[in-house]
Structure 1
Amino acid sequence: MEIDKNVEMLTVDQQELHPSLSDNEDPLLSRSRGIFQLIIFSIIGITTFFIPFTINDKSTILFDHIASYLVNDLHSLAVGLLFLLMAYGAIKPIVTGKYKESITHAILSFAKVAGLILAGLYVLGMAPDVIMEKDMMPFLFEKLALPVGMIVPIGALILASLIGFGLLEMIGVLMQPIMKPIWRTPGTSAIDAVASFVGSYSIGLLITNRVYLQGHYSTREAIIIATGFSTVSAAFMVIVAKTLGLMEFWNLFFWSTLIITFIVTAITARIPPISQERNDDADPAAQALADVKGNRLGAAVELGIETSRRSSNLPKIFWCNFKDGLEMAAAIVPSIIAVGLAGLLLDKYTPVFEILGLVLYPFTFISGLPDPLLAAKGISAGLAEMFLPALLLSEADFVTRYVAGVVSISSILFFSAMIPCILATKIPLSIPKMLIIWLQRTILSILLASAFAHLAIAVGWIG
């Protein structure tokens, strides 16, 4: 059948993540188990990530409650676990020799070591007074590094329910008809796009790079996906929302950010420099085989069941996701402290972000933000580290905080992690081109996010 052929083609790239079934297993029993797992784990993932619960007068999503309990009620344990993560993240590039690969890797490796040392000095009370002010290291460590260190691994563990048992693949197939006309990418990129958004930019880039090298994407398509869909994970979005005081409107923030990000991607795909990239170097046969024909809903359901059916080793699936979360937290947290502190010091004692913010000022001004210069200055810091706008604008008015949150996610590119990750792939994208794409995405995100924020307030969706 046509659906069976489509399902077979679409599951090729998923088999590495989903252990094959035993040859002796009854197909009917395995199919029943696949349906059961698909339903149960989808419910668990959706409930945990998107339904707020009120506990101790605090309303937020369930896994944020768990992470908050660790940070607030088991603070000493959380700090100990965080230092183990940071030590691993700082030492690993040295032991593996990754710091030798390029100047960028060397700088990032140095930043991780510096972050570990700074965190140690802070906890021991030995840090210089200039960085012990409450809006410096205390804020970075207690309000950012510690929650990130707890939320990312827990979020990655829970994400297995959303991405490991067929729901992701079902959404990908159902989205395929709109991918080419809107984002100018082939149908199979739907799975890549959703995986990048709900998973992590590093995993998303690995998938994009692999599929690009296999000839399924042209150069232009690979760049569109890498710079347009590879956002930070949903777990990081929670940190941004918490820092900016937006968790009360979590679902509104999450879904509007997703939509705005994808609208911006549709626009940047049609303008230089992306529109000028090669679009004739993909393998036509590979792209044609990936297009679903016939009953799309049926193909989506069958692919979801088949993916779930192959997910037979539950401990391995959850452990692999948890391990990925630990690796990501270990790599990100020490660099967040070092780069974040550098950004805060630059903001407080130099005019760097004021100068960069002048480029964005016309757009924050026409967007009707109450303090457009402050907003432009804070948002511009996102080029160095995606968390900096949240840190610098955490005390601003609601509209500015919302816009800063959306832009920090939707702009995609930042020097502390994302740009080096792209440089490590085979996707031909230079730093100057990435800077232009960052500016385009930031400007478009400011305009769209501010328009939506004003609309949401006017119609009563907020406050």
Structure 2
Amino acid sequence: MATKLKFVLLSLLGFIFFLVPFTINGESSILISHIVTFVNEQIFEGFILFTVACSWIVLLGTIIFTFYTSKSEYLNSVFKASPLNVFLRIVGSFLYLMVINGWFEQSAIGQAILDGGTGGTMAGDGGLLTTLYITFFVGILALPLLTHFGIVEFMGVLLGPVMEKVFKVPGYSTIDAIASFVGDGTIGIVVTDTQYQRGYYNQREAYVISTSFSIVGIAFAAAVAQELGFGSIFPVFYGSIIIVTLIIAFITARLPLKKFKRTYYENQEPKAADVPEGKSTFKHAYDSALEQAESTKILEAIVEALKHVISIFVGFLPIIMAVGTFSLILAEYTPIFDIISAPLVYVYDFIGYSTDVARQMAPASLAGFADMYLPALFITDSPSEASRFFIGVLAFTQLVFMSETGMILVKTKIGLNFFDILKIFLFRTIISLPILVLLTNILAAMNIISF
């Protein structure tokens, strides 16, 4: 009975926490989003002090452990890193402290970094890092509710046949996809990486899942839709994102992907979801869930989650700060996106957009590689509803951007590098374009949007 309660109650709590929207103060969203809002509105200054302390610890700890080796293997695993990661951690931590404290604001370089469109987008009030600090801290502590107490096994067995046939991945991935779509793409990637390391996916499956379903969640999509003027047709906007994403996932699952093997992390035995002969699918799903719930100790799951939070605070967030800030500086202060996107002007011109609109759409189509919010900023003044809709949906279906999901994917154990992320971005962009041309024309013909 205790095991059944552990499975049902804790898994239910996980579903409620990550996947069920609640209306608080007139805003309908999942609990993580409400917690982010609460921290930003009620305890923002105290939380910023906490993040500043974290940045100092990472900055000094990384420098110290470059020359020092502790007797504690755990401390070594947290602070020691490759030369490139050491550099990025130090730079990212320093940049975060620089933006929060307004250092060097009188210098030209300081002004470029502290600008609201660069470092100001990444840190401080309303900054991306502020949201990520809260999301990761709360989300990863609550993550075992969703991954460790049986619901993954239960859903995996039930939905295995559908997921395997359509997307060639185990049914376990349903949880990852739902967590991304309804919650947050970064959480989806973390879930996938965690499950890969636990033997639920082989390397190829982990690649397909993390690069096909881990999009930015519905809350951020709603914010972008509002920015672009589509708040009133948000179901259509987000429905279009889902349609394009699922089509690309279907295609991705059938690519050769020679680099990503059908092998399991550290040669683990795979977690099987096959239904034994003579046993119903539901019964096997339920028994598998109880077995997992019984084998997981709550305290051990909490300790594991805390270690994961520390790892991300030290190894992920400073790197996101460094790469994101410099990517945004390139977008803000150089014509690089205009230059590399020049051929797309002719493409959009050919599709039927005016030359002026095409010139706005072209750089917006590639700016998402630096940060997902950049395309919206590039296109928000376009007089064409269709162009704003097209770019808004494209920014989500491209999936990877270097200020967040791209760097997180690189830091997983799945085996992706920067060039893999670039290839994913270009592939998803190329596949998305003709699908979105069709979708926008259909919606325009139905008078839902106008050219």
- TM-score scaled to structure 2, two decimals? 0.71
TM-superposed deviation, 1:267: 0.8
Out of 426, 429, 435, the position equivalent to 1:442 is 429
- Residues 265 and 424 (structure 1 numbering): CA distance in 2 closer, same or farther, change over 3 Å? same
CA contact (8 A) 1:147 1:239 kept: no
In the TM superposition, 1:215-254 aligns within 5 A as 217=202, 220-221=204-205, 223-229=207-213, 231=214, 234=217, 238-239=219-220, 241-242=222-223, 245=226
CA contact (8 A) 2:89 2:318 kept: no
Out of 75, 84, 87, the position equivalent to 2:56 is 87
Quote the residue 1:108 is aligned against. Answer: 88
TM-superposed deviation, 1:87: 3.1
CA deviation profile, 1:128-156 (whole Å, cap 9, x unmatched)? 44455544444443222323332332333
* Distance in 1, Cα, partners of 2:262 & 2:115: 55
In the TM superposition, 1:290-305 aligns within 5 A as 290-293=273-276, 294-305=279-290
* Distance in 1, Cα, partners of 2:396 & 2:49: 29
The residue type paired with residue 435 of structure 1 is L
CA contact (8 A) 2:189 2:409 kept: no
In the TM superposition, 1:295-374 aligns within 5 A as 295-313=280-298, 317-318=301-302, 320-321=304-305, 324-325=308-309, 327-328=311-312, 331-358=315-342, 371-374=357-360
CA contact (8 A) 2:59 2:93 kept: yes
The residue type paired with residue 382 of structure 1 is G
Give aligned pairs, total: 422
Alignment partner of 2:23: what SS?
strand
Quote the residue 1:143 is aligned against. Answer: 126
CA contact (8 A) 1:268 1:441 kept: no
Deviates more, 1:354-363 or 1:171-180: 354-363
CA contact (8 A) 1:364 1:446 kept: no
Deviates more, 1:296-305 or 1:121-130: 121-130
- Residues 366 and 64 (structure 1 numbering): CA distance in 2 closer, same or farther, change over 3 Å? farther
In the TM superposition, 1:366-445 aligns within 5 A as 371-386=357-372, 388-389=374-375, 392=378, 407-415=394-402, 432-445=419-432
TM-superposed deviation, 1:177: 0.7
* Distance in 1, Cα, partners of 2:144 & 2:61: 25
Alignment partner of 1:143: what SS?
coil
- Residues 327 and 295 (structure 1 numbering): CA distance in 2 closer, same or farther, change over 3 Å? same
- Residues 281 and 81 (structure 1 numbering): CA distance in 2 closer, same or farther, change over 3 Å? closer
* Distance in 2, Cα, partners of 1:177 & 1:239: 31
CA contact (8 A) 2:361 2:387 kept: yes
* Distance in 2, Cα, partners of 1:89 & 1:239: 28
TM-superposed deviation, 1:64: 2.0
Quote the residue 2:8 is aligned against. Answer: 35
Alignment partner of 2:149: what SS?
coil
CA deviation profile, 1:40-80 (whole Å, cap 9, x unmatched)? 55345433xxx24140x444444323321221333322321
Quote the residue 1:22 is aligned against. Answer: none
CA deviation profile, 1:166-217 (whole Å, cap 9, x unmatched)? 33332222221123332234566666766787634245235436649xxx73
* Distance in 2, Cα, partners of 1:161 & 1:242: 28
- Residues 352 and 390 (structure 1 numbering): CA distance in 2 closer, same or farther, change over 3 Å? same
TM-superposed deviation, 1:424: 6.1
Out of 144, 149, 160, the position equivalent to 1:165 is 149
CA contact (8 A) 1:35 1:308 kept: no
TM-superposed deviation, 1:308: 3.6
The residue type paired with residue 380 of structure 1 is L
Q: Does 1:63 align with 2:66?
A: no
* Distance in 2, Cα, partners of 1:182 & 1:458: 30
CA contact (8 A) 1:169 1:191 kept: no
CA deviation profile, 1:217-267 (whole Å, cap 9, x unmatched)? 3x65454345334x3675xx6456546647968887777645543431221
* Distance in 1, Cα, partners of 2:147 & 2:7: 14
CA deviation profile, 1:85-117 (whole Å, cap 9, x unmatched)? 333444454455489855642553244134224
TM-superposed deviation, 1:384: 3.5
Q: Does 1:267 align with 2:251?
A: yes
- Residues 139 and 378 (structure 1 numbering): CA distance in 2 closer, same or farther, change over 3 Å? same
The residue type paired with residue 85 of structure 1 is C
TM-superposed deviation, 1:119: 1.7
Deviates more, 1:107-116 or 1:122-131: 122-131
* Distance in 2, Cα, partners of 1:369 & 1:155: 42
In the TM superposition, 1:110-125 aligns within 5 A as 110-122=90-102
TM-superposed deviation, 1:320: 4.4
* Distance in 2, Cα, partners of 1:187 & 1:296: 13
Quote the residue 2:19 is aligned against. Answer: 46
Deviates more, 1:119-128 or 1:437-446: 119-128
